[in-house]
Each structure stands twice: as structure tokens, then as C-alpha cells.
Structure 1
Amino acid sequence: MAKQDRAIRTRQTILEAAAVVFDERGYDAATINEILARAEVTKGALYFHFPSKEDLALAVIDAQAEATSALLDLPGGCRMQRLVDLGMVFAHQLLVDPVLRGSVRLTMEHGSAALLHRSGPFTGWIELHTRLLAEGKERGEVLPDVVPVEVAELLVGAFGGINALSQSVSDRADLERRAIVLYEHLMPSIAVPAVLARLDMAPGRGARALALATLEPVGAA
């Protein structure tokens, strides 16, 4: 068991180191030697867990899908609050989670990284947004003319845009503010007035929702 635990820790160390290098350098410029130096592991240990740089990059990309799945446990029964929380929590996580930042860089990057299978995170985000919008519509939280999949694609695309802009101009220091502005402008065309009035889109919402999610796992409510 101790050996297995050590292997899990080593794999995570390599994954985190690779994510940082990919985030800083991009897929093409990143080298295995840089990742080894940052992870402080042997080449044999790295190749035991990840046979190639491509496998490493794909594992980093997969981390974003895992983060998306974890957001299913955001607290509260209001589907439109959960919809807002998806973006607010993700904005918060991008400031504190190096693996997530590396995943986003690889997902958005062109060049050789385009050869990687990068659609998974986008597909996952769209499916999750579509599901919440459809459930919200069934519960009377969403305006009648809203088409869930169309709005889901708009939200995911818009968030990707503000993330790229924020990274370019402030290294994501203003990402939360930009996310708030995005939701303040879009949610009135999505949520019914009674629900809109109750939505928490205030600064710090991402950290608050994430903290609640670790304390109050959500069931099927």
C-alpha cells in the first residue's frame, strides 16, 4: 500500500510540474528535461507513468474534465445559481490550481497542441451547462424562449473569451470581475425575474461556493 501511495504521489508531482511548464511555455516549447527538473524525478519515473510528452499533455487536459465533474457537487437547488457558480468557481480555481491553468493553456493553444484531442473540456462544459439550463427550464427558473444548448454554447464560448482576455491583460487578476460582468449582462436574458433577483454574483462567490461544496455535497435535489 505504501508503494502504491508513493506511486500516486509521484504521478501527481509529475502532472503538476508538467502543467506548470505547459502553462508557461506552451506545448511545443515545453521539454521533458524542463518537466523533470521541476518535478525532481528521474526520467525512468516519468516514463513509467507517462510514455511521452503527448501522454503527459493529454493527462493535464483530462484534469479539466475532472474539475468539471466535481462542479456537479456545487451546493443549492437553484439551477441558475449553479450555472453562475460554474464560471465563478472556475475563475477562482484558475488562480489557485496550476494543473487547471496548464489544462486551459493546452485546450486553447494552436500549433502542435492542435493535434491533441482538445475538444473534451469544451464538450464537457457545454453538456453541463445544457443540463442545468434544461433542468432550470423544467423548474420554471428559465425564460420560455431559451434554447438550452444554444445558450450553453454561448456561455462557454464567452467565458473562454474573457479568460483569454484576462490572461493577456492582467495574468487573470481581473478574471473574477470579468466573469461577474459577463453574468450580469447575460443572466437577465436567461433567468426569470424572480430567480434573477436572488442570484449571488458578488465578488468572492467562487470561493464561497467551492467551500460550501466541500461541506455540503449535493444530491438529486
Structure 2
Amino acid sequence: MVKQERAVRTRTLVLRAGAEVIAARGYEGATIAEILDHAGVTKGAMYFHFPSKQALAEAVIEEQTNISTVPVTNSRLQDAVDLSQRVARALQSDPLLQAGTRIAVETGFAEEPIVPYQQWTSVFRSIFSAAKESGEVLPSVDPVETAEMFVASYLGVQLFSQAATNREDVCERVAALWRHLLPGIATPGVLAQIEPDGVGDLNDFGGIPQQHEATDIASS
């Protein structure tokens, strides 16, 4: 049990260190040496869990969708909005999501892209499907098409926000995206009840536990 717990802690350390370095340096700019130094582990300890930088990047992508639990309320459409706003807030400070974005953008045109689009599309497709079953969205709405359109638009919105304000206004831009999207998918009775800014605790997204003292990689 002690060895298992130590292995879990080591994996978490490396995963977080990798996310922090990639978020600061980019996927191509991040080096194994810097990730090891930031995590404070040996090369052997890292390779036991992640045999390559690509394997580490793939774990970062997988982790960011695994932690995106979606509370189920009486409005699945509002749940979709709330999830998107929690992700937006987390993007402002969570290296896991920041790294995922850089990985997706930098490898998007590679022969083997490492992208979270399919995972996120699946999450929102499920929510939109449930919303359609409950009569929240118009009968003509295709949950698959809507999920793909939303994820593609969301990626563009947060990248635009990153370039314009270093994501300071990303939540406002996501709300604007919903204000444009909702009239085309929500039933009239539901439309007036949805809050594009999100409701409830929007700061609870999850993330990788902080298990070592963070350093300012960007300025190092």
C-alpha cells in the first residue's frame, strides 16, 4: 500500500509539473529535463509512469476531461453553460487546462494530433442529448452537430481571449457565445431561464492536487 501511494504521488507530481512547464513553455518548448527538475523526481521515476513526452501530454489531455464532473440539475442546458463557465474560470489559473490548450494547438496539424476535441464533444453531446429528451432544446437540434459546433467555437473564443487579454475576459466571451447560440437551440420557454454567465459555484472544477511548491516557470 505504501508503494502504491508513493507511486500515485509521484505520478501526480510529474503530471502537474509537466502541465506547468507545458503551459509556460508550450508543448514543443517543454523539455524532459525541465519537467524532471520542476517535479523533483528522477528520470526513471517519470518514465515508469510516462515513457515519453507525448505520453505525458496524452495524460494531461485525458486528465482534464476526467475531472470535469457535471452536476445534474433540473436544467441540462444550464448544466452545459455552467460547465463551460467553470472551465473558463479554470483556464485563467489551472496549468492542466492551459497546457491542454497549448498541446491541442501545437499538435493540431501534426500527423498524430493530441487533441481533447473528441472528449469534450462527447461530454457536451451527452448533455445536449439529455436536454433534448427533456424538451429543453428544439426538436430540430442535432446534439452531435451542436456539440461539435460549440466545442469548436469555444476553442476559438478562449484562444481569442488569450491573445487579447491573457484570458482576463474569457468568462464574458463565453457568455457572449451562449447568448448567440442559445436562441438557435433552446425552446422559447427555456431560453428566458438560462443564465449565460452561469449559476452556482463556478470555481469548483477540480484539477491536479498541488503537491509541491510551485515556481514561476514563465520567468525562469
The share of aligned pairs that are identical, in percent, is 42
- Residue 102 of structure 2 is matched in structure 1 by 105
Check if 1:165 corresponds to 2:160.
Answer: yes
How far residue 115 of structure 1 moved from its aligned partner, in angstroms, is 4.3
Matched residue count: 206
TM-score, structure 2 length as denominator? 0.84
Per-residue CA deviation, residues 136-170 of structure 1 (Å, 9 max, x unaligned), is 22211112222222221111110000011111122
Choose the corresponding residue for 2:186, options 185, 191, 212: 191
Superposed, which structure 2 residues align to 1:67-106 within 5 Å?
Answer: 67-68=67-68, 70-71=69-70, 74-106=71-103
- The structure carrying a bigger helix percent of its residues is 1
Q: Structure 1 length normalisation: TM-score?
A: 0.84
**Aligned pairs for 1:1-221 within 5 A:** 1-68=1-68, 70-71=69-70, 74-110=71-107, 114-119=110-115, 121-202=116-197, 205=198, 208-209=201-202, 211=204
For structure 2, list consecutive stretches of 5 or more residues without a partner in the other structure: 207-220
Distance 1:164 1:59 in 2: 22
Amino acid at match of 1:54: Q
Q: Distance in 2 between matches of 1:125 and 1:9?
A: 27
- Which residue type is aligned with residue 92 of structure 2? L
SS at match of 1:109: helix
Give how far 1:211 is off. Answer: 4.5
Please tell me the residue identity of whatever aligns with 1:106.
I
The residue type equivalent to 1:3 in the other structure is K
SS at match of 2:167: coil
Describe the shift of the 1:148–1:110 C-alpha distance in structure 2 as closer, same or farther (beyond 3 A): same
Distance 1:83 1:63, change over 3 A: same
Q: By how many angstroms is 1:117 displaced?
A: 4.5
C-alpha distance in 2 between matches for 1:47 and 1:39: 13
Cα gap change, 1:59 to 1:190, in 2 (>3 Å): same
Q: Does the 8 A contact of 1:88 with 1:206 survive in 2?
A: no
